Amino acid sequence: MYFISRLADCVGLLSWDQFFAAMVEFQGTSHQNVVKRVGHLPVLSSTYGLVSSVYSITKGIHPYIGSVCEAAEVGVWSVTSVALETASPIICKLEPQIAMANDLACKGLDKIEQSLPLLQRPFEQVTRFMSTKSILINL
Span 89-108, pLDDT tens digits: 898 889 889 999 999 999 99
- The pLDDT value recorded for residue 11 is 45
- The pLDDT value recorded for residue 118 is 86
Q: Which domain range does residue 62 map to?
A: 2-138
pTM of the full predicted structure? 0.60
Low-confidence spans in the chain with pLDDT less than 50: 1-14, 26-30
- The pLDDT value recorded for residue 27 is 42
Give the integer Cα–Cα distance in Å for 66 and 59: 4
- The pLDDT value recorded for residue 22 is 55
Give the integer Cα–Cα distance in Å for 55 and 50: 9
Q: Name the domain count of the chain.
A: 1
- The pLDDT value recorded for residue 138 is 63
